[in-house]
Structure 1
Amino acid sequence: MSNAMARLALMTYRGLGVCAYPLASFYLLWRTAKGKEDRKRKAERFGYAGAARPQGPLIWIHAASVGEMLSVIALVRELRRLDIAVLLTTGTVTSAQVAAERLGADVIHQYMPLDLKPAVGRFLDYWRPDVAVMAESEIWPTTMVELQARHIAQVRVNARMSDRSFGRWMRYQSMAELLFSKLSLVVAQSDIDGERYRDLGAWPVVVSGNLKGDAEPLPVNQAELTRYRQQIGSRKTWAAISTFDGEEKAAAMVHRALKAHNDQLTIIVPRHPERSDEIEAMLLEKDLKVARRSRGDAITPETDIFLGDTIGEMGLYLRLTDLAFAGRSLLTETGGQNPMEPASIGCAVLSGPHVENFRDAYQKLVRNGGARIVKDVEVLAKAVHYLLTNDIARLRMIDAGQATVQDMRGALSATLRALEPHVNPLAMKARLEPRAAAQ
């Protein structure tokens, strides 16, 4: 694709967005019916503000879903210590709920506007951010063009580039260079991610490590933790966390295979809790007794599966076990889930082979003995059985995992250093200007 063709393709994309704008309401209604949109705040997706813009400097941070949102919490807190207002946008209802629980009034939360020119233009005209900071990997062409038109610096933090995405962008390199060259700074998770962003036209690019390694400890309700620990008693536990379709069935197969050998409780925490009715029905068909967190069910000696179907309570579920399988990795080639959360809390970590989104973290954890990769359900069952019955091996994995995560810390400091040219002038301005609601 030539440069001229790339520009034409981008213009066409933006033009189609303008044409599609009147139909966007139907798209949002469909997502609302599936529980993926907040009906009361639908206007924010069209760029209409749901809060007043404060006076003074404002940094816009976008974190699409829960994982990205959790990775930027510590960064948001550091920026707030500089007295810079932060507008935090997310793309999902669950990430919005976690933002409210973890950051509250520290930030102004809005839903990300649809990548359509009228919505993005309205959003930027109202909020007038001084810097736009996007977490990880989302690319929204219209938003990038509109930010550049307003001379707003665009920064990518904790940036990653999966094998699949990199391959797609390389097939359309002129388009990639047209978009990625609009970025003012890329702070990449790993050397591989950094090289890929450079190859696609981004500059400058620095490598910080993964912000998830510096994430704050997952919170937990101590009273609930104590209550469930008492109910579980001396039973062995293992957890399948952040699971995707099919992985809950795999966890049930593992439980059934081991039930005759171990008096274990299996904890299943689906990545999307709205699937929990379907998951429970599947488990009941297999004659497994299920307790659901959302119903407040007690865990009895007869309970086979504790279904963690709530949002924002991963800290509870991980503290009920010391062996965790991280999902989105066994039966789906979509890149894995964050292993640093369970490792840092004190869990031996198991994962399927599809971990490209966290390749660097898994390489270090596996090399140091804090995580193991399993190729299929049969090997997962063998690994769970071995670690549940071998305390020494499990404790060694836990120690190795916690030490590895500790060694991986430092990404937050590196990211803040990289952001200094964009942030320091705003911090000075914030100190000089009193802030009050402007609109």
Structure 2
Amino acid sequence: MLRLIYRAAWWIVAPLAVLRLLIRSRKERGYREHIAERFGRGPARSASDLAPLIWVHAVSVGETRAAQPLIEALLKAHPEARLLLTHMTPSGRATGIELFGDRVMRSYLPYDSPAFVRRFLRAWRPSLGIVMETEVWPTLIDECKRADVPLVLTNARMSERSYKRATRFGRAVREVFGGFSRVLAQTLSDAERLSALGARNVAVLGNLKFDMSAPPELIERGHSWRAAIGDRPVWVAASTREGEEALVLRAFASLNVPDALLILVPRHPQRFDEVSALVTSMGMTSARRSVWAPKPVAAGSGADVPDALPPYIQVLLGDSMGELGAYYAAADLAFIGGSLLPLGGQNLIEACAAGVPVLIGPHTFNFTQATKDAINAGAALRVEDPQDLARGLRELFNDKPRRLGMSAAAAAFAAAHRGATERTVSVLSALLEGNDEA
């Protein structure tokens, strides 16, 4: 009964979804492009293209970046195959273009209605489907099973909070999770919760995000920015969410570290102007990376060389996409957003891999194990509120040996957990070759 209600609801919601896309496009124009793809229409493979197709779904920017090492490994392991990358957001699609160019095909994932999903599957004829982390769409799972397309939930995570919500649906949720061909979990806790929800063939393979690494030219770009900033204490507030920037700026105002510079990087690009106005309203001087620094140069052609950042600038707004690695390379410390408010946190692994000590708020239920392990390794420090954030930053800026020790611990922590990509490719390759016993 729940399934019938769910499917009927999509027929009602679909026209409203287009209206929502148009409304969202006022802030991010990409939402009004490729709308037909969201109904399973648009590009399709030619009938003569008989190569196996590996389809990877990464909803937005974070999932796309997490999928990068996996996609690169799949392209290398299966040069005979084609690869389709689907998204739900324009920023995710833009990230896919930036990372892979024309090496992959791309489309938006259709809305979760049988007619739209069937049209999508007929158009692309995937040999294997891979969805990242928490992307569970009941109709998509049903239709892949009906079309005999193995569908794998990869880098899967299931927080205690999400697990409790899912159990309210009883048998229906077990049927949904039982439809995956494989579930490749990040941690044992994730695997246990997913199994309890009905997932079959569950394996613990680790977190793909540990295998992410910033390209050398991006690190070089960050170092050139740091040279232009000069010998100032620098911290980055990365992937901040709505309502959180005000808390971060409040912490900065009470930091009391002379000449400190905050690099503020909102998670969503449509909010850059809003956050810039907030900084000004709080009486702080700022510059925007897009204005201050040169445009990114082509890989291998040298680093950007911006003019010196004026010493009176207090906040550098990171209003660019795909440069988080450069911001980390320019910073002494990193605060990871989405964690001062009950939003579940964001990925701290990229900062650790860059050797940057991490401060993170109390709300990290989407990254429970990685956060716990980073704290235990001495790579991260938990803070409870803006005042505690200011205190933690101040202590680390004033204690260089401790800060350098955390930096070494962060790099070691990231290095120790690598290898999930290789294990995941092994399982996926066996499925692609028709070995169900993988």
Q: Alignment length, in residue pairs?
A: 417
Contact 2:223/2:329 (8 A) holds in 1: no
CA distance change for structure 1 residues 163 and 209 in 2, over 3 Å: closer, same or farther?
A: same
Q: 2:67 matched to which residue of 1?
A: 72
Q: Deviations over 1:369-417 (max 9, x none)?
A: 0101001111110110111121100000010111011111111122123
Q: 2:34 matched to which residue of 1?
A: 41
Tell whether 2:317 aligns with 1:301.
Answer: no
Output the amino acid matched with 2:261. Answer: L
Q: Deviations over 1:9-51 (max 9, x none)?
A: 1022112323444444323222323317442312111111335
Contact 1:132/1:153 (8 A) holds in 2: yes
| Residue range with higher mean Cα deviation, 137-146 or 198-207 | 137-146
Output the amino acid matched with 2:213. Answer: E
Q: Percentage identity across aligned positions?
A: 37
Secondary structure class of the residue paired with 2:287: strand
1:12 to 5, 8, 30: 5
Output the amino acid matched with 1:74. Answer: P
Q: 2:126 matched to which residue of 1?
A: 129
Q: Deviations over 1:93-123 (max 9, x none)?
A: 1111111111112211111111122321211
Q: 2:272 matched to which residue of 1?
A: 276
Q: 2:428 matched to which residue of 1?
A: 419
Secondary structure class of the residue paired with 1:333: coil
Contact 2:236/2:333 (8 A) holds in 1: yes
Give the number of the structure with larger relative contact order, counting CA–CA contacts within 8 Å between residues 6 or more apart: 1
Q: 1:341 matched to which residue of 2?
A: 350
| Residue range with higher mean Cα deviation, 377-386 or 50-59 | 50-59
Q: 2:175 matched to which residue of 1?
A: 178
CA distance change for structure 1 residues 164 and 319 in 2, over 3 Å: closer, same or farther?
A: same
Contact 1:338/1:358 (8 A) holds in 2: yes
Output the amino acid matched with 1:234. Answer: D
Contact 1:322/1:346 (8 A) holds in 2: no
Q: 1:3 matched to which residue of 2?
A: none
Counterparts of 2:59 and 2:338 in 1: how far apart (Å)? 17
Q: 2:299 matched to which residue of 1?
A: none
Secondary structure class of the residue paired with 2:162: helix
Q: CA deviation at 1:364?
A: 1.3
Contact 2:223/2:330 (8 A) holds in 1: no
Contact 1:36/1:92 (8 A) holds in 2: no
Output the amino acid matched with 1:263. Answer: D
Tell whether 2:50 aligns with 1:55.
Answer: yes
Q: 1:400 matched to which residue of 2?
A: 409
Contact 1:44/1:110 (8 A) holds in 2: yes
User: Within 5 Å, which residues of 2 pair with 1:3-402?
Assistant: 8-35=1-28, 37-50=30-43, 52-53=45-46, 54-81=49-76, 82-83=78-79, 84-218=81-215, 220-221=217-218, 224-225=221-222, 227-259=224-256, 261-296=257-292, 299-330=309-340, 332-402=341-411
When the two structures are superposed, what TM-score results if normalisation uses the length of structure 1? 0.91
| Residue range with higher mean Cα deviation, 391-400 or 115-124 | 115-124
Q: CA deviation at 1:220?
A: 4.3
Counterparts of 2:212 and 2:140 in 1: how far apart (Å)? 28
Q: 1:431 matched to which residue of 2?
A: none
CA distance change for structure 1 residues 222 and 393 in 2, over 3 Å: closer, same or farther?
A: closer
Counterparts of 1:203 and 1:333 in 2: how far apart (Å)? 31
When the two structures are superposed, what TM-score results if normalisation uses the length of structure 2? 0.91
Output the amino acid matched with 2:195. Answer: R
Secondary structure class of the residue paired with 1:246: coil
Contact 1:220/1:313 (8 A) holds in 2: no
Counterparts of 1:221 and 1:198 in 2: how far apart (Å)? 40
Secondary structure class of the residue paired with 1:151: coil
Output the amino acid matched with 1:289. Answer: T
Secondary structure class of the residue paired with 1:258: coil
Output the amino acid matched with 1:177. Answer: R
Contact 1:59/1:86 (8 A) holds in 2: yes
CA distance change for structure 1 residues 199 and 222 in 2, over 3 Å: closer, same or farther?
A: closer
Note the residue ranges of structure 1 that are not aligned, 5 or more in a row.
Answer: 1-7, 427-439
Counterparts of 2:216 and 2:171 in 1: how far apart (Å)? 45
Counterparts of 1:424 and 1:296 in 2: how far apart (Å)? 51
Counterparts of 2:216 and 2:97 in 1: how far apart (Å)? 13
Contact 1:154/1:183 (8 A) holds in 2: yes
Secondary structure class of the residue paired with 2:255: helix
| Residue range with higher mean Cα deviation, 353-362 or 27-36 | 27-36
Note the residue ranges of structure 2 that are not aligned, 5 or more in a row.
Answer: 294-306
